[in-house]
Amino acid sequence: MSDNNDNPYKPAKVWTNDKENGGKFANTNRPTAGARHEQTLPVGDAPLQLYSLNTPNGVKVNILLEELRELGVKGAEYDAYKIDISENDQFGSGFVDINPNSKIPALVDYSAVEDDEPIHIFESGAILLYLAEKFGKFVPLEQGRARTECLSWVMWQMGSAPYVGGGFGHFYSYAPEPMEYPINRFTMETKRQLDVLDIHLQDRDYMCGNDEQSYNIADMIIWAWYGQLVLGDLYEGSAEFLQVDSYQHLQRWARTIAQRPAVKRAVDLPLQSIHS
């Protein structure tokens, strides 16, 4: 792939994996799924077992679990284990059994057993919704405007953030060399998304309202990506590059969420090794 107009890249009729793709995570990338090695995952004593990493996608689940802990919710106790994606832990057989997509986070609920098997949950949005509904916290449970608004923003984040992480973040921070077109393309989309949030938060304290009861999984799932981004905690140098200070309402919301005790614990959550 090249930005050189004198020697432009032309796709072949059939793609083949015949070149090193470079970049920070080049050693993990393959066009195939499934386990690459045997690895039994440890299981602690708590009803919930989390296998994750403190990336934005992992932090989402950390926040909810710590908010439930803050409330003293019974049954929401958990053990947290580190899946080091730079070391290919996500391709171990035990992790793939939980998440066939080999992405963090993944959760096992040993307090909910069906057909002699505990419930496995993967995809951060699915985990947040599962836990929020299981414990009746941080999501409106009745059909209506409040639930619809919450779930709309949860789904917005799930569909939008790949442009930020896999698009902007990858080409800005992790690609083997700077490439103008993809950086410009994904910067434009990232800034458009930041503007969506800034406009929405102009007259709201939280994503779905103005009181503490309005704080819910929509705030958690969005803050892990966009809150950390505008606070300068993702992709070194990107805060200035994206001019994040110009999104004043989003900045105010991000700072408010960042001061919550559960969120402070969540971003640096201690994770146990899966390797004995």
The tens digit of pLDDT for each residue in 6-40 reads 778 899 999 998 887 777 777 788 999 999 999 99
Residue 250 scores a pLDDT above 60: yes
The tens digit of pLDDT for each residue in 163-197 reads 999 999 999 999 999 999 999 999 999 999 999 99
Q: What is the mean pLDDT of residues 232-249?
A: 97
Give the number of other CB atoms < 10 A from CB of residue 258. Answer: 15
Q: What is the mean pLDDT of residues 222-246?
A: 98
Nearest to 218 by CA among 121, 135, 146: 146
Residue 5 scores a pLDDT above 70: no
> Which of the 8 DSSP states describes residue 42?
P
Residue 72 scores a pLDDT above 70: yes
Q: What is the mean pLDDT of residues 73-87?
A: 97
- What was the pLDDT predicted at 205? 98
> 201: number of CA atoms within 13 Å, CB side?
29
Mean of all residue pLDDT scores within the chain: 95
CATH of domain 145-265: 1.20.1050.10
Strand order in the sheet with 48-52: 78-82, 48-52, 106-114, 117-122
Please, which residues bridge with residue 107 across strands?
50, 121
> Which of the 8 DSSP states describes residue 107?
E
